[in-house]
Amino acid sequence: MLGAMGQGSKVTRRAGALAVAAVLTTAVAGCGGSTSGGDPGARALPQGSSCQTVRAEMDKLLSRGVQPRVEAAQAGRKLPPQQQAEVDQYNRLLAQYLGARCHQ
């Protein structure tokens, strides 16, 4: 009985992994099929900013505990205005950081 349960678990995991792979393949294929000519390239950071300064601001917000608030906002929970402002600021910084390709 345990052997059969183990096999079912392996099959379930494999099927789940294949489903995830199929979704990712579809998503990647969709990105490459742009009619605008492909990758637009890195976006410029705001005047006076650098990857290091944006990262430092993000780290400061993380040290003040913004991570659980970001997750709460993504889950649809209502936050007090000050906390929502910090979440919005973190999301703006993250978009700048990723858009400028600072993470590469």
**Dmax of the chain from CA atoms?**
65
The whole-number pLDDT of residue 98 equals 94
pLDDT for 85-96, tens place per residue? 999 999 999 999
Residue indicated by tokens 């973190």: 90
Task: State pTM to two decimals.
Answer: 0.61
CA atoms within 13 A on the CB side of 93: 22
Which sequence spans correspond to the domains of the chain?
1-40, 42-104
* Tens of each residue's pLDDT in the chain, 104 residues: 444 445 454 444 444 444 444 444 444 444 544 456 777 788 989 899 999 999 999 999 999 999 999 999 999 999 999 999 999 999 999 999 999 999 87
